[in-house]
């Protein structure tokens, strides 16, 4: 576990622009909206014959994934390549880190290769903040998920998906359902939804999968799914993170599905125009019924598509913020 500092002392430059993207917590509504607007400009690129822009041409992006990932790693790589960056995927299992090299030494080695951006996924909370505090000033750091703490790009691709289908956040009732305790996604979603002005944020889970004092984040807590889903506009399901559970927090997966799995029957309790989301990977028959995951209300695959656009946005904005800061410092010399 790494000690965490005030993120905005690290992730914003002197002009208030992103230079790292570590967390949604504490960022202004204006900045989150800028991320969404920038991502919107990239959404249609996949339909174009040439799927590249030169915004990161000549820059080197290093994907430092200390934890397994498929969707996040592949969409970050694709996003960097669509921005015309050179991409290095560091295989941690075969790197010197697995042979005892310290994280700081690994960073210094990557910096010596003239890297410009690190995309970091780590099992320890605060790892991305630590890395951002250690790198040389010109290197941008993007948090691709750290422990139970934050997954800001996942939250922002979720926000983009909601905005595309619902427009304004202010009338919305949003329910986040499942393993809240172990979910970095839920924390980042809650901070983003609050900042963007959602009318009501609900978390629905058994008491064993609820963090202490979760109410302090400005959410309403439900342990009964039927009550929690009533009239909500957005249902955000979460994966059961069994790899992070250190004790028997659930009687069984079948019991969890009976009480907290999203079925066609439970979905009828939501608003008639509700949408269904899930960050993936999906455990069908555990968190969600197949007919719901593949049904007309599901935006799960749209989330994946939007992930590329959002990651392009935060990478380009962070690099721009780094360059602005560098130019300001040079001008002041």
CATH of residue 134: 3.40.50.1370
Is the pLDDT higher at 324 or at 144? 144
Residue 115 three-state SS:
coil
Pair 171, 281 in one domain:
yes
The CA distance from 58 to 302, in Å, is: 30
Q: For tokens 């304004």, what's the residue? A: 168
Contacts of 248 (CB under 8 A, 6+ apart): none
Pair 45, 81 in one domain:
yes
pLDDT at 5 over 70: no
Residue 271 annotated as binding?
no
pTM of the model: 0.92
Range of the domain at 62: 7-151+305-332
Residue 281 annotated as binding?
yes
CA-CA distances (angstroms) from residue 34 to 50, 83, 126, 310, 316? 25, 18, 25, 11, 12
- Burial (CB < 10 A; 0-12, 13-18, 19+), residue 271, is middle
DSSP assignment string, 167-231: --STT-EEEEES--TT-HHHHHHHHHHHHHT-SEEEEE--GGGS-TTGGGGS-EEES-HHHHTTT
Residue ranges of E strands in the chain: 60-65, 86-91, 117-122, 140-146, 173-177, 200-204, 220-222, 234-237, 275-277
At 124-162, the pLDDT tens digits run: 899 999 999 989 888 999 999 998 899 999 999 999 999
At 67-85, the pLDDT tens digits run: 888 889 999 999 999 999 9
Residue 207 three-state SS:
helix
Residue 280 annotated as binding?
yes
**Does residue 2 fall inside a structural domain?**
no
**Does residue 129 fall inside a structural domain?**
yes
Pair 172, 258 in one domain:
yes
At 171-186, the pLDDT tens digits run: 999 999 999 999 999 9
Number of independent structural domains in the chain:
2
Two tokens, residue 236: 């955000």
Residue 148 annotated as binding?
no
The CA distance from 273 to 141, in Å, is: 38
The CA distance from 319 to 296, in Å, is: 38
Is the pLDDT higher at 11 or at 51? 11
Pair 166, 297 in one domain:
yes
Pairing of the two strands 140-146 and 117-122: parallel
Residue 121 annotated as binding?
yes
Pair 161, 289 in one domain:
yes
Pair 27, 145 in one domain:
yes
Two tokens, residue 300: 């799960």
**Does residue 171 fall inside a structural domain?**
yes
Quote the distance between the C-alpha of residue 112 and its chain's center.
29
Pair 292, 310 in one domain:
no
Bridge partners of residue 122, in order along the sequence: 146
What's the confidence (pLDDT) of residue 93?
60
pLDDT at 244 over 50: no
pLDDT at 214 over 50: yes
173-187, 232-246, 251-265, 306-320: least confidently modelled range: 232-246
Pair 142, 161 in one domain:
no
What's the confidence (pLDDT) of residue 100?
52
pLDDT at 2 over 60: no
Task: Give the pLDDT mean for 112-126.
Answer: 92
Q: Taking a C-beta distance cutoff of 8 angstroms, is the pair 179, 188 a contact?
A: no
Task: Give the pLDDT mean for 18-41.
Answer: 97
Residue 71 annotated as binding?
yes
At 222-238, the pLDDT tens digits run: 999 999 999 999 999 99
Pair 25, 112 in one domain:
yes
What's the confidence (pLDDT) of residue 325?
81
Residue 194 annotated as binding?
no
Pair 146, 156 in one domain:
no
Pair 145, 160 in one domain:
no
What's the confidence (pLDDT) of residue 246?
46
- Burial (CB < 10 A; 0-12, 13-18, 19+), residue 207, is exposed
The CA distance from 267 to 293, in Å, is: 11
Is the pLDDT higher at 295 or at 249? 295
The CA distance from 234 to 236, in Å, is: 6
Average pLDDT value over all residues in the chain: 90
Pair 129, 206 in one domain:
no
Two tokens, residue 195: 């900042």
What's the confidence (pLDDT) of residue 68?
82
**Does residue 212 fall inside a structural domain?**
yes
pLDDT at 119 over 90: yes
What's the confidence (pLDDT) of residue 237?
98
Two tokens, residue 73: 């790693």
At 8-23, the pLDDT tens digits run: 678 999 999 999 999 9
Residue 163 annotated as binding?
no
């Amino acid at each position: 576990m790494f000690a965490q500092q005030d993120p905005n002392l690290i992730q914003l430059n002197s002009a208030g622009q992103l230079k790292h993207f570590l967390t949604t917590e504490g960022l202004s509504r204006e900045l989150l909206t800028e991320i969404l607007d920038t991502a919107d400009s990239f959404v249609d690129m996949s339909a174009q014959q040439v799927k590249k822009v030169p915004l990161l041409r000549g820059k080197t992006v290093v994907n430092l994934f200390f934890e397994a990932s498929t969707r996040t790693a592949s969409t970050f790589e694709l996003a960097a390549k669509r921005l015309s960056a050179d991409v290095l995927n560091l295989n941690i299992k075969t790197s010197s880190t697995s042979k005892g090299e310290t994280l700081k030494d690994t960073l210094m080695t990557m910096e010596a290769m003239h890297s410009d951006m690190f995309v970091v996924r780590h099992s320890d909370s605060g790892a991305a903040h630590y890395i951002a505090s250690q790198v040389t000033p010109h290197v941008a750091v993007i948090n691709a998920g750290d422990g139970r703490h934050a997954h800001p790009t996942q939250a922002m691709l979720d926000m983009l998906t909601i905005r595309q289908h619902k427009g304004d956040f202010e009338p919305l009732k949003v329910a986040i359902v499942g393993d809240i305790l172990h979910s970095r996604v839920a924390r980042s979603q809650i901070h983003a939804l609050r900042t963007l002005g959602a009318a009501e944020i609900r978390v629905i889970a058994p008491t064993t999968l609820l963090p202490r004092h979760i109410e302090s984040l400005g959410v309403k807590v439900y342990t009964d799914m039927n009550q929690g889903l009533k009239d909500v506009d957005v249902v955000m399901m979460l994966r059961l993170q069994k790899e992070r559970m250190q004790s028997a927090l659930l009687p069984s997966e079948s019991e969890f599905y009976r009480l907290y799995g999203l079925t066609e029957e439970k979905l009828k309790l939501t608003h008639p125009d509700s949408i269904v989301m899930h960050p993936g990977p999906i455990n069908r028959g555990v968190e969600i019924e197949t007919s719901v995951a593949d049904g007309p209300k599901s935006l799960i695959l749209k989330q994946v598509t939007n992930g590329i656009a959002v990651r392009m946005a935060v990478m380009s904005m962070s690099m721009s913020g780094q360059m602005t800061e560098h130019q300001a410092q040079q001008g002041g010399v």
